[in-house]
Structure 1
Amino acid sequence: MNDLQKLLDKDGHLLDLHDWTPQVAEALALREGLTLAKAHWELIELVRTFYDEFQLAPNMRALVRYAKEKLGEDKGNSLYINRLFQGSPARQIARLAGLPKPNNCL
């Protein structure tokens, strides 16, 4: 999907949030060697809801707190999130959700 590259900034985030679709998320995930399962989608949708509510992508601390509030203790912890997403989970989820890079992410 070479056209995908045209939609991204230098950090791999969409330049325009309106270009996001589930198919774009799947293509971005494949670029990162990730196959999205139901658990991944649950967090991607959660982060998109967070963005709609607060107009920013959550950093890891905010993501864990929000996930705990919305999804419960089992899914609202950093161990669970780190098992699903590699490296910087908050940043990777934001990228897959079509959102800008979270504040405080390298």
Structure 2
Amino acid sequence: MSNSRRKFSAEQKVRILRENLENQIPVSTICERYQIHPNVFYRWKKQLFEGALASFSDKKKKSSDAKIHLLEKKLRERDKVISEIVSENIELKKNLNGEI
């Protein structure tokens, strides 16, 4: 007897979950029909709803991505200014020490 796991495609998982959600077929019946453990069914269901939440909150993600991009740009500008100031400071110290 082999211990290899069966793999269900995304389409198969959605079809199986749809049977429960749309047709109100009990989880026990579905699990028997497809020979899956109820925990697997509920894990798929959780993943489905978490993915749905992400798809509905896509607008929020885009705005947060824009904010991140803006903040990264500001950091790059500040790093550039800091490096210029540091190089000027080093040059001034060299000139000051050379004159004395």
TM over 0.5: no
TM-score (norm 2): 0.25
Which has the larger helix fraction? Answer: 2
Whichever of the two has the greater Rg, that structure is 2
